Structure 1
Amino acid sequence: MADMTQSTTSSGPRSADAGPITRFLRATEIDTRLLGMIGALLIIWIGFDLYLRIFDGREFLTARNLWNLSVQTCEIAVLATGMVLVIVTRNIDLSVGSVLGFVAMIMGVMQAKWLPQYLGFDSSWTWIITLICGLVIGTAIGAFQGGIIAFMNVPSFIVTLGGLLVWRGLAWYVTSGQTVAPMDSTFVIMGGSGATGSIGATWSWVVGVLACVMIVASIVGSRRQRKRFGFPRRPLWAEYFLGCLGSVLVLGTIYLFNSYNWPVGIAKRYATEHNITWPEAGLDIPYGIAVPVLIAVLIGIVMTFIATRLRFGRYVFAIGGNPEAAELAGIKTRWVIVKIFALMGFLAAVAAAISTARLNSAVNSQGTTYELFTIAAAVIGGTSLAGGSGTVAGAMLGALVMQSLQSGMGLANVDTPIQNVVVGIVLVVAVWLDIVYRSRAK
Structure 2
Amino acid sequence: MTPDLSSARPATAASPAGADRIRQWFARYKILALLIAVALIWLFFGVLTHGAFATPRNLSNLLRQMAISGMLACGMVFVIIAGEIDLSVGSLLGLLGGVAAILDANRNWPIEATIPVVLALGVVAGLVNGWLSTYRRVPSFIVGLGGMLAYRGILLGITGGSTIAPVSDRFVFLGQGYLPRLAGNALALLLFAVLAFVTVRARSNRRRYELPVPPLWQDATKIVGAGAVIFAFVATLDDYGGIPVPVLLVLLMLGIFTWVATQTVFGRRIYSVGSNLEATRLSGVDTNRVKLAIFALMGLMCAFAGIVNTARLAAGSPSAGNMGELDAIAACFIGGTSMRGGSGTVYGALIGALVMASLDNGMSMLDVDAYWQMIAKGAILVVAVWIDVVSRTNRR
TM-score (structure 1 length as normaliser)? 0.82
Give the CA deviation at 1:67. Answer: 1.1
Q: 1:63 Cα deviation (Å)?
A: 1.3
Distance in 2, matches of 1:181 and 1:376, equals: 31
Of 243, 257, 260, 2:237 maps to: 257
The amino acid that maps onto 1:86 is V
Alignment partner of 2:338 out of 372, 376, 384: 384
1:303 aligns with 2:254: no
Q: 1:83 aligns with which of 52, 76, 84?
A: 76
Residue of structure 2 in register with 1:216 after alignment? 196
Equivalent-residue separation in structure 1 for 2:136 and 2:187 (angstroms): 46
The alpha-carbon deviation at position 30 of structure 1 amounts to 8.9
Match of 1:203 among 146, 159, 183: 183
User: 1:174 is matched with which residue: 152, 158, 173?
Assistant: 158
Consecutive unaligned residues of structure 1, counting only runs of 5 or more, are 1-17, 117-125, 261-286
Partner of residue 46 from structure 1, selected from 40, 43, 47? 43
Q: Equivalent of 1:147, from 128, 131, 151? A: 131
* Residue 97 (structure 1) aligned with residue 90 (structure 2): yes
Question: Residues of 1 paired with 2:217 and 2:34: CA distance?
Answer: 25
Instruction: Please say if 1:366 is aligned against 2:320.
Output: yes
2:56 pairs with 1:68: no
Give the match for residue 32 of structure 1.
Answer: 29
Deviation at 1:230, TM superposition (A): 2.6
Given candidates 206, 212, 233, the residue that maps to 1:226 is: 206
- Cα deviation, residue 158, structure 1: 0.3
Partner of 1:427: 381
Alignment of 1:337 with 2:288, yes or no, is no
**Separation in structure 2 between the aligned mates of residue 67 and residue 163 of structure 1, nearest angstrom:** 33
Query: 1:231-257, CA deviations, whole angstroms, 9 ceiling, x for partnerless residues?
Result: 222221122111111111101111111
Q: Which of 181, 184, 189 is the equivalent residue of 2:173? A: 189
Superposed displacement of residue 304, structure 1: 0.5
Counterpart of 1:212 in 2: which secondary structure?
Answer: helix
Residue type of the partner of 1:229? Y
Superposed CA offset, 1:354-403 (max 9, x none): 10110011010000000001100000000010111000000000000000
Please list, as runs of the form range in 1=range in 2, the aligned pairs for 1:125-140 lying within 5 A after superposition: 126-140=110-124
Aligned equivalent of 1:237: 217
1:207-239 per-position Cα deviation (integer Å, ceiling 9, x unaligned): 111111111111122122223333222221122
Separation in 1, partners of 2:27, 2:115? 38
Q: CA RMSD in A?
A: 1.8
SS of equivalent to 1:394: helix
Cα shift at 1:167: 0.4
Aligned residue for 1:186, secondary structure, equals: helix
Counterpart position of 1:271: none
Structure 1 stretches of 4+ with a deviation exceeding 6 A read none
**Amino acid across the alignment from 2:244:** A
Output the amino acid matched with 1:254: V
What is the total number of aligned residue pairs between the two structures?
377
The Cα shift of 1:190 comes to 1.1
Distance in structure 2 (CA, Å) of the matches to 1:431 and 1:175: 37
Give deviations 1:393-433, integer Å, cap 9, x for gaps. 00000000000001011001011111111111110011111
Deviations 1:279-312 (A, max 9, x none): xxxxxxxx11111100000001100111111111
Q: Aligned to 2:100, which of 102, 107, 123?
A: 107
- Identical positions, percent: 38
Shift of 1:110: 0.4
TM-score by length of 2: 0.92
